[in-house]
Amino acid sequence: MTWPQDIDAQDPRLPLAGVRVLDLSRILAGPLAATVLADLGADVIKVESPQGDETRRWGPPFHGADAAYYLAVNRNRRGMVLDLRRSEDRVSLCALAADADVVIENFLPPQVASLGLDAVRDRSPQAVWVSIRGASEAGPLGGQPGYDAMAQARSGIMSVTGHPATGPTKVGLPIVDVVTGLYAAIGALGALFAKRDSPDGKAARVEVPLFECGVSALINQAANHLVGGVVPGLLGNLHPNVAPYGPIPTADGELVLGATSDRQFAALCRAIGRPALADDPRFADNPTRLAHREELDDLLAGVLLGASTRTWERRFADAGLACAPVNGIDEVFREDHVDAVGLVQDVGHPAGTVRLVASPLRIDGVRPPVRRAPPLHGEHTAAILEALGPGGE
């Protein structure tokens, strides 16, 4: 084995301890997939070009030389620089791929060929090869580059996001990249599981296209169209299938609440001191509540404007109803729950301690720790090449 072990950051208690991941990706979906595997204990080596991952420059804000964007999805790994246009660097890449369990890349198909990655892939049949694309190579969009905003547009996500006054808008975070990264991690894990029973140890190749992942994220909106022929418009914060469900103004803000069954709606009516509303023919069941949603929301707003968000939040919680304040990002990180469960962790970094959102998972009651800060550009190149030895340089 030539893979250089990361003795300092290994944690044998984590479920993917011992799994080796070679991350050739950049931007978001690929690095996020590698982060999910790394959080679960995999040993990840990120390989960048001499120019580095583009997101290192996607700021401000910056922490040291790197943008916060890069820090968000590149924890728990070592980083090195290889110029894949150089034959000697491709030799090093081949040595790493030969011992990798998973390889993640998001190059355009022509780049895969021009950089010799197809040859690397063919020489590493034991590695699950995860390829993130703008769209599946099997279709006419397969050769096109893809970014999150374009995927949100083409997949229909933008067409159901926003208000009639604003027109279609994208989600306020790169949702298709996130969904794609999670699918990529799932695909890698599934292929690793299947490889255990492979008689020749040959691993699968997994394609993860942004466009298809965006369409999959439509969930009920896609089903509404395929089953019922519905072409949804811009509902803003409203739910296409359930009422009441969405933000209602209070005396000092907005509270998102949902009553998705007749029982919950009756409980809501009691909690606001209007139990008779549950028997009103306009609101007798979900179809009638949907048909009279505007009247229902106006009635709820008329009541909720009489007290603060926090007051209603406590009252609805006591009634067993789901609700939440519309937090600003700063308010999110002031939530007592965030501190109580250790969702944000401090990690040492050459530019000074940096705070990062850790894995949302808990395994046997313990959140996987941030074992390494996101690496500096080429931070571990020399050590990795030295560990590879003459055959890998």
Strand order in the sheet with 78-81: 78-81, 43-48, 20-23, 102-105, 128-133, 205-209
Give φ, ψ of 88 to 5 degrees: -65, -35
Report helix, strand or coil for 62. strand
Residue 177 is a catalytic residue: yes
Q: Do the Cβ atoms of 379 and 48 come closer than 8 Å?
A: no
11, 177, 280, 339: which one is catalytic? 177
CA–CA–CA angle 171, 175, 178 (5° rounding): 165
Report helix, strand or coil for 218. coil
Q: Which two tokens stand for residue 69?
A: 């964007």
Cα separation of 263 and 173, whole Å?
34
Residue 193: is it exposed, middle or buried by C-beta count within 10 angstroms (0-12/13-18/19+)?
exposed
Give residue 115's identity as a one-letter amino acid code. Answer: L
Residue 227: is it exposed, middle or buried by C-beta count within 10 angstroms (0-12/13-18/19+)?
exposed
Catalytic residues: 177
